[in-house]
Amino acid sequence: MWDYSEKLKEHFFNPRNVGEIPNPDADATVGNLMCGDALHLMLRVDKDERIVDAKFQTFGCASAIASASALTEMVKGMTIEEASKLTNDDIVEFLDGLPAAKVHCSVMGMEALQKAIANFRGERAKPEDEGQIVCECFGVTDKLIEKVVRQHNLKTVEEVTQYTKVGGGCGKCHEQIEAIIAKVHGLAPAAVPTPPGGHRLTNIQRIRMIEDVVDKQIRPMLRQDGGDIELVDVDRNRVYVAMRGRCAGCPVSGVTLQKVVQEKLRELVAPDIEVEEVKD
């Protein structure tokens, strides 16, 4: 269960400024409905460039709704210039904190605000500013990853996932994320387990590597959204697991099992691995 502040819960159960502004002076849509988070922010601006109204529509979790509600409350009465200086940390502080795995909701809010302000000013993003997609699951670019790594001094893939959700799906982009972290901070990318070169894995080696991948690669991804996994048994090339937390009974747990768990084990341990779920 997430540890939500009382203020966050208040903005979730009673969100402010939900709705639409007809013909807004500035608006922006960010996020991706395929990953469960999307935000449409609309602003009404007067002749003095002061934000006189702000509304939003969002599809997402409690933290996404609360972050958008907080953002609209914060910007009303500000000038466009004042609003442009806000950061996602200001949203987190306004809500008396966000769970670490939900900080990306505040980043989504700031991305919407920045795009809306650019829209108001008639600015168009340059192609080089848009960046290349690193995470296909959530549509996150290398430029956004670089930005949050610099702003928040992030050092690990898990931290980047908390701020952007990148890498929280299939996990195939982890090496690219590590390369971006290395580029920004000069850190060596984290080593991942690999089979002994040119040698057939022994049963003990295989089991140990499976345990390592589950603990260090798979479980952290699932925990970002309240899920978890338990390694139940290993029988030759068959790996038996139990889905825990929010993954247990989730309607898309079968996809998670095949596209996240099985593919990651095949990539890092052995290509013949088959994963089966054990039901309690």
Active site annotation includes 170: no
Rounded to 5°, angle at Cα 265 from 171 and 133 = 20
Going by CATH, does the domain composed of 203-277 fall within 3.30.300.130? yes
CA angle 204, 268, 34 (to 5 degrees): 135
Pick the CATH number of 6-120 from 3.40.50.300, 3.60.40.10, 3.90.1010.10, 3.40.50.2000: 3.90.1010.10
pLDDT tens, residue order, the chain (280 aa): 457 899 999 999 999 999 999 999 999 998 765 555 789 999 999 999 999 999 999 887 888 999 999 999 999 999 999 999 999 999 999 999 988 778 888 989 998 999 999 999 998 654 444 678 888 777 788 888 898 898 888 888 888 888 887 777 667 788 888 889 988 887 655 554 555 445 566 677 788 889 988 988 888 878 877 888 999 998 878 899 999 888 887 777 788 888 888 888 888 888 889 999 988 7
Asked whether the beta carbons of 67 and 105 are under 8 A apart, the reply is: yes
CATH code assigned to 128-185: 1.10.10.1100
Domain boundaries, the chain: 6-120, 128-185, 203-277
Q: Supply the pTM of this predicted model.
A: 0.60
**Which one from 105, 137, 170, 173 is the annotated catalytic residue?**
105
Around Cβ 230, how many Cβ atoms within 10 Å?
Answer: 14
Task: For residue 21, give the nearest of 70, 101, 76 by alpha carbon.
Answer: 76
């982890």: which residue's tokens? 174
Residue 105 among the catalytic residues: yes
